[in-house]
Amino acid sequence: MKKRILFVCHGNICRSPMAEFILKALVKARGLSDDYYIESAAVSTEEIGNGIYPPAKRCLSQHGVWFDPGKTARQVTRADYDRFDRIIVMDASNLRWIRRIIPEDPEGKIHMMMSYTGVGRDVADPWYTGDFEETFQDLLEACEAML
């Protein structure tokens, strides 16, 4: 049975699609692509229909991580709770927002990204920091720890 993972950030144009394609690259490199289904989404509606933010694309490309150029932002829905085994948010704000969309988590599916590394902190939003490399490294570390 496939492990179904949904990464979630504010707009689904930086952190969550970066995490989506980093994890897809890692599972492909390990020959595990058939074991995983991976997507990403937003808690907000601000960027719905927009593609991955160009600096995020550049960062992924610089690391040799393939991404789907047709990927567009979508908002997480309550139905996603049943569709995915894990819903992984990037920061405490995303967690508050997702609790409005998915008010209960009886199966313990919702996690903070950096919790996989044993560190209880947010993944910095490069939309504000401008540091896509730092975000990439955090996401890579957490995705490797998750696997």
Q: Has 15 been annotated as catalytic?
A: yes
Q: Which of 80, 91, 125, 138 is catalytic?
A: 125
Catalytic residue among 9, 14, 59, 143: 9
CB 58 within 8 A of CB 4: no
Q: Which residue shows structure tokens 């707009």? A: 11
**CA distance linking residue 24 with residue 144, whole number of Å:** 11
> Among this protein's residues, is 9 annotated catalytic?
yes
**HSE value, Cβ hemisphere, 13 Å, CA-based, for 68:** 14
Q: Is position 125 annotated as part of the catalytic site? A: yes
- In degrees, rounded to 5, the angle at the alpha carbon of residue 111 between the alpha carbons of residues 62 and 138 is 25
**Residues with catalytic function:** 9, 15, 125
